[in-house]
Structure 1
Amino acid sequence: MTQSALDLNLHLSRPPAPAPLPPEARGLRRDEVRLLVMDRATGACRHARFVDLPHFLSAGDLMVVNTSATIPGRLRAVYRGEPLYLHLAIRLTEDTCILERRRADGGPDPRPFEPGDTLRVVHPEDGRVLARIQVEAHFHPDSRLWRVRADRDLFRVAEAAGVPIQYGYVTRPLETGAFQTLFSRTPGSAEMPSAARPFTHRVLRGLAARGVRFCSLLLHTGVSSHEVASDLARHPVLPEWYHIPPATAAAVNRAMAEGRRVIAVGTTVVRALESAAVPARGGEGVRVRSGSNWTTHLVTPATPPRVVHGLITGMHDNHTSHLALLYAFARPEFLRRAYEEAVQLGYLWHEFGDISLLV
């Protein structure tokens, strides 16, 4: 199946409901969100709570997590006297980055800049100028993304004057801590690697008792607010930087050699591992290479996973590259049936919502 032929619409009976706030603000613990378990071998779907995750995994499974921490990536700016927001997406160098244009009310703003246009980043309280930006180029014609150069490192400016990127379905402003996971270590992600958010120490204890093993990598995520407008082949794909430590590459390669499952916690982990897959020595299969690199790799049915066997991830919208990634793991009709069950049972979508396990 080609990328252009993918139907990125599950045709559910009604639109899924977004989670308006983190579970802690809804009377739940982090690990008490719902868990949709999709078994590809049997076609069965089961429903549990995330705290029950250890029951659905096996001794020897290798779970890989992302240690990127979320930055407060929304900056207030002024352009030709008009206020607006800028969402930091990807830091390319100290003075160059890719960002998204948003309206003053936080909504998407498709209006174009012109190369050479200048903007001022201002303090949200007193309006002081914190940085000056020059627009260099449109990142992609089907996007609100722009490559810019600034007189200061905008990611450092954000540490002092930014707020977390959040969207209209979240009903009140949240602190940056709400967008971190148990594994967050190195700041750099524009949006939270949210599949890991429900993990707690009691879940980790349960997994350890089950014999599940852990390792980690780093991938800084960009913004995910762009729907696939026409087909995936024309979709703007942000470059994302990742680092796979030698110990992680060794653990993953050993698991594959021994026939044990590699379980990715989030689509970011899938992208990093599959980007680092190279032919194995001797010519049979693949191995994961350690090191750092940029990736624009998309996992789809046309480019299926070669390393990852199972996936823990959120509930994904229609018309997204995340849904295309799920199609690489399971047939669309199976996902449609599982997601329809989830909708009927009141599962919640997006970063503070419920979670799925695909094995």
Structure 2
Amino acid sequence: MKTSDFYFDLPQELIAQDPLEDRSSSRLLVLDRRTGQMEHHIFKEIVHYLNPGDCLVINDTKVIPARLFGSKVGTDAKIEILLLKRREGDVWETLVKPGKKAKPGTQISFGDGILMGEVLEVAEDGNRLIRFTYEGIFEEILDRLGQMPLPPYITHQLKDKNRYQTVYAKHDGSAAAPTAGLHFTPELLQEIRDKGVNIAHVTLHVGLGTFRPVKVEEVTQHHMHSEFYMVEEEQAELINRTKANGGKIICVGTTSCRTIESAADENGILHAGSGWTDIFIYPGYRFKILDELITNFHLPESTLLMLVSALAGKENIEKAYAEAVKERYRFFSFGDAMLIK
């Protein structure tokens, strides 16, 4: 299976640069993976595809304003840092630009010294481990100094930080939003609950590995970055009970999907716990627990496109994406959505 098998031609103007005024007014392409049949809807109509006794699984991670701009102590050279994941205490794995200015021992000042960082070592992929020192609460300082780490294909400045955050974001730790969740409003979630659909929360802190391009020709040679996940006892019970009672498990986004598939055993039982996952789902994968998926439209040759192809079949996805391009759907993080049922 070659990476180039997952290429498609995407007109640049279909990449959504700004979120819509109303989150739930984006478009929704519904794909039946058994028949290949497609329907066009507005996202808020998703409720018609959910039945009493089903369970919607959402990722309640919260994006941190992980992009920091500082200067090198001694030379005042400008340095940009992206927080990728917390290793321990105040040590973070980071992406540094330009990397050559950040050798071990380098001191970096942010916000005129409100936050200081020291480069400890060079890690995998040239990332830097940095220890931060500060007075007060790290999250509050980050909120003050940091910017939202929008993906590189979004060139517009985000007016409202919260629009790159789901309405149910709770646990700080992501370098990117679980974007399928951006379509939900509190009102839509209430309508779903009122219909008798359960909503289960899991957490997966999205790293930039999600967007990391596949650089190998052979798909199976690609290595995913690991991401931290948590599944609480009562949420695992809710999902297992739904499954046992014949309800469907509908994941909101590839991150929720990867979380429950990582934490499930071969018998399709979800286990509570936390840990690191580097699960890579591509065609040939047998889903253990997921039944349906709500997701956005993904980049050509990306691991996310491979995941949806594993669920719906490569041919179905090719046709659905061709249809989305023809119908001028909006792509990627701030784009439209798809339900694979």
- TM-score w.r.t. structure 2 length? 0.89
Return the alpha-carbon distance in structure 1 between the equivalents of residues 244 and 101 of structure 2.
51
Change (3 A) 1:39 1:187: same
Which residue number corresponds to residue 106 of structure 1?
none
1:130 partnered with 2:115? yes
The reply to whether residue 59 of structure 1 matches residue 52 of structure 2 is yes
Name the counterpart of 2:104: 116
Contact 1:16 1:349 survives alignment (8 Å): no
* Equivalent pair of 1:299/1:305 in contact (CA under 8 Å): no
Gaps of 5+ in 2: none
Partners of 1:206 and 1:353 in 2: CA distance:
23
Find out whether 1:266 has 2:253 as its counterpart. yes
Residue identity opposite 1:237 in structure 2: M
Tell me how far 1:312 sits from its aligned partner: 0.8
Q: Is it true that 1:245 corresponds to 2:238 in the alignment?
A: no
Give the unaligned 5+ runs of structure 1. 104-110, 280-284
How do 1:186-205 and structure 2 match up within 5 A?
186-205=171-190
Separation in 2, partners of 1:225, 1:95: 25
Moved more, 342-351 or 204-213: 204-213
CA offset at residue 134 of structure 1?
1.1
Which residue of 1 is the match for residue 65 of structure 2?
72
Q: Provide Cα deviations, 1:91-143, integer angstroms capped at 9, x if missing partner.
A: 1212322222346xxxxxxx6677625241422xxx43621221422323xxx
Deviation at 1:213, TM superposition (A): 1.7
87-96 or 148-157: bigger deviation = 148-157
Q: Kindly tell me: are residues 238 and 158 of structure 1, through their superposed partners in 2, closer, same or farther at Cα, counting changes over 3 Å?
A: farther
Deviation at 1:257, TM superposition (A): 2.0
* Partner residue, 1:229: 215
Distance between the aligned counterparts of 1:65 and 1:312, measured in 2?
10
Q: CA deviation at 1:155?
A: 5.8
Aligned to 1:165: 149
Secondary structure (helix, strand or coil) at the match of 2:246 reads coil
Does 1:83 find its partner at 2:65? no
Letter of the 1:46 counterpart? E
Q: Does 1:293 align with 2:275?
A: yes
Q: Name the counterpart of 2:92.
A: 97
Q: Secondary structure at the match of 1:19?
A: coil
Tell me, what secondary structure is at the counterpart of 2:6? coil
Quick one: distance in 2 between partners of 1:234 and 1:133? 34
204 and 242 in structure 1: CA distance in 2 versus 1, 3 angstrom threshold = same
User: How big is the shift at 1:263?
Assistant: 0.5
SS at match of 2:241: helix
Higher helix share: 2
Deviations 1:256-288 (A, max 9, x none): 223321111111111111111124xxxxx2311
Q: CA deviation at 1:177?
A: 1.4
User: In the aligned structure 2, how far is the partner of 1:294 from the partner of 1:184?
Assistant: 20
Encode CA deviations 1:300-323: one digit per residue, 9 max, x unaligned.
224432111111111100121111
Q: Which runs of 4+ in 1 moved over 6 A?
A: none
Identity of paired residues, percent?
A: 27
State the partner residue of 1:47.
Answer: 40
Would you say how many aligned residue pairs link Structure 1 and Structure 2? Answer: 334
Instruction: Give the residue type in structure 2 aligned to 1:343.
Output: V
Match of 2:297 among 315, 328, 332: 315
Secondary structure of 1:278's counterpart equals: coil
Using the alignment, how far apart are the partners of 2:63 and 2:10 within structure 1?
34
Contact preservation (8 Å) 2:119, 2:128: no
Q: Distance in 1 between matches of 2:193 and 2:257?
A: 22
Displacement of 1:23 after TM fit?
0.3
CA distance in 1, matches of 2:183, 2:102: 42
Residue matched to 1:329: 311
Q: Does 1:179 align with 2:176?
A: no
Distance 1:245 1:203 in 2: 24
Secondary structure of the corresponding residue to residue 315 of structure 2: helix
SS at match of 1:48: strand
Cα distance in 2 for partners of 1:114, 1:102 equals 8
SS in 2 for 1:92: strand
The 8 Å contact of residues 56 and 200 in structure 2, kept in 1 or not, is answered as: yes
| Amino acid corresponding to residue 270 of structure 1 in structure 2 | C
After TM superposition, the structure 1 stretch with the greater mean CA deviation from structure 2, 61-70 or 198-207, is 198-207
The residue number in structure 1 matching 2:262 is: 275
Partner of 1:11: 8
Tell me: CA distance 1:230–1:257, structure 2 relative to 1, closer, same or farther (3 Å).
same
User: Equivalent of 2:202, from 199, 202, 217?
Assistant: 217
Inter-CA distance 326–168: structure 2 relative to 1 (3 Å threshold) = closer
